[in-house]
Structure 1
Amino acid sequence: MLRTIRILAVLLAVLLGGVWAYAWVTRAPGEGLGEAFAARLGQIFGGQMPVPGAGGVQLPQGMALGGAFSLVDQARQPVTEKDYAGRWMLIYFGYSYCPDVCPTELGTMAAALDAMGKAGEAVTPVFITIDPQRDTPAALADYVSRFHPRLQGLTGTPEQIAEVARRYRVYYARAQRPDMTDYLMDHSSFIYLVGPDARVRSLFRPELRPEDIAATIAAQMGVRLGGPVPVGAGGPG
Structure 2
Amino acid sequence: MVDHGPRTGNKVALTFDADMTDAMRYQLRSGAVRSYANLRIVDLLERENVPATFFLTGKWVEQYPQVTRRLAANPRFELANHTYAHLAFTADCYGLPRLPQRQMTADVARTFDIVAPYGGRQTRYFRFPGLCHDRAALDALAPLGVTVVDGDVVSGDPFATSWRPIVRAVLDGVRPGSVVVLHVTEANAPMTDEALPHILAGLAERGLEPAPLSEVLGHP
TM-score, normalisation: structure 1: 0.28
Which has the greater radius of gyration?
A: 1
Task: Using CA pairs under 8 Å that are at least 6 residues apart, name the structure with larger relative contact order, 1 or 2.
Answer: 2
